[in-house]
Amino acid sequence: MSTHEPFTPDESTGTAPGRGRLAGRRILVVGGGQMDIGEPDTAVGNGRAMCLLFAREGAAVAVADRDGASAAATVSLIERENGQAFAVAADASKDADVARMTDEAMRGLGSLDGLVLNVGIGAGGPWLEGTTRESWDKVLAVNLTGHMLSVKAAMPKLAAGASIVFISSIAGLTAGSRLPAYDASKAALSGLCRHVAFEGARRGIRANIVAPGLMDTSIGRLATRGRPNRAKTNVPLGRQGTGWETAYAALFLISNESAYITAQTIAVDGGLSGT
C-alpha cells in the first residue's frame, strides 16, 4: 500500500445524503443481497450498497438474489430509510428463474428503466492446473450466461432510454486473480456488453460496465482469506475500495447523467489497473 494518508469522503463510507438523482426511476438489481462469511462487522457489499444508494436517490428497487433471505434483508435496510423496495428470490443461471424474476420486477415496479447485473462467482483451484471442466462450466454459467439470460429477458420490457450496468472486475482488464475461468468470464462480459449496447441503441438503451478492483466487501475478505498477500497489493490511492464506491459509479451510469455514454468500462480500483 502507498504510505500517504488515504482520502475517504462521505460517499466512500455511505454516509452522504441522497440528492434525488434517480427520482422516479424503477430499477432491478440482480445480486442485491450479500454473502454471509461469518463476520459480524463485514463491510457492505457492492450489490447491497447499490440497492441502498439507488433507493436513497429516489428510485424504486426490485432486489433480486438467489438467497431470498439476503434480498429481504437488503429491502429491510431500505425500508428503514423510508425507501421503496421489494425482494425477489431467483437464480440468474436458471432460465425459468430469470423469466419469473423479470416478470415479478415488472409487476412490482410497473415499468423498468434500469437493470444492474451484480452476479459472479469464482470456482476451482488456482492456475490452469487447478481448473477442471466442471469448475470452468460453473463459473461461465453464472458469470456470463446468467448475464445474457437476464438481459435477454429484460430487454423487451425495458423502457426507451433505459440503462443497463454490468458489474464486472478488473480481472477482465488485467490478469491477477489466478483463476482462469473467472478472468475469462469477466473479459467475455465486455463483449456481451458491447453487443447489448449495439442492440439497445435503437431504443436509446445504454449498456456499460463497472469494474471494481480490490474491494473491502464480504467477497473481498473471503478472497483475502484464500490469498493473504491480496491485502498487501500496492494500490496507488493507498487503500482497498468500498462497496459504496462501486455503487456511486453504477449510480452515474444508471442515471441520465451518463445519457451519452454506452459500451464503456469504468474501473473502480484506486488506479491499480492504470499504473
| 201-241: pLDDT as tens digits | 999 999 999 999 999 887 777 666 767 777 778 899 999 99
Whether residue 273 has pLDDT greater than 60: yes
| Phi, psi angles (nearest 5°) of residue 133 | -60, -40
Residue at 21 is within a domain: no
Instruction: Write down the residue that cell numbers 454506452 correspond to.
Output: 262
Closest CA to 251 of 83, 115, 53: 53
pTM exceeding the 0.75 threshold for the entire prediction: yes
Mean pLDDT of 52-70: 98
Tens digit of each residue's pLDDT (9 = 90 or more) over 12-49: 999 999 999 999 999 999 999 998 878 878 889 999 99
| Mean pLDDT of all residues belonging to the chain | 93
Mean pLDDT of 254-261: 98
Domain count, the chain: 1
Residue at 17 is within a domain: no
How far are the Cα atoms of 122, 125, 151 from residue 133, in angstroms, in the given order?
14, 12, 26
Tens digit of each residue's pLDDT (9 = 90 or more) over 242-257: 999 999 999 999 999 9
Residue at 77 is within a domain: yes
How far are the Cα atoms of 60, 166, 195, 227, 256 from residue 57, in angstroms, in the given order?
9, 20, 29, 36, 13
CATH of the domain at 209: 3.40.50.720
Residue at 8 is within a domain: no
Residue at 6 is within a domain: no
Residue at 9 is within a domain: no
Per the model's pLDDT, the better-predicted residue between 151 and 3 turns out to be 151
Residue at 4 is within a domain: no
Catalytic residues: 182
- Within 8 A by CB and 6+ apart from 214, the residues are 220, 230, 233, 235, 240, 241, 269, 270, 272
Per the structure, the complete domain to which residue 127 belongs is given by 26-274
Residue at 192 is within a domain: yes
CB of 245 within 8 A of CB of 11? yes
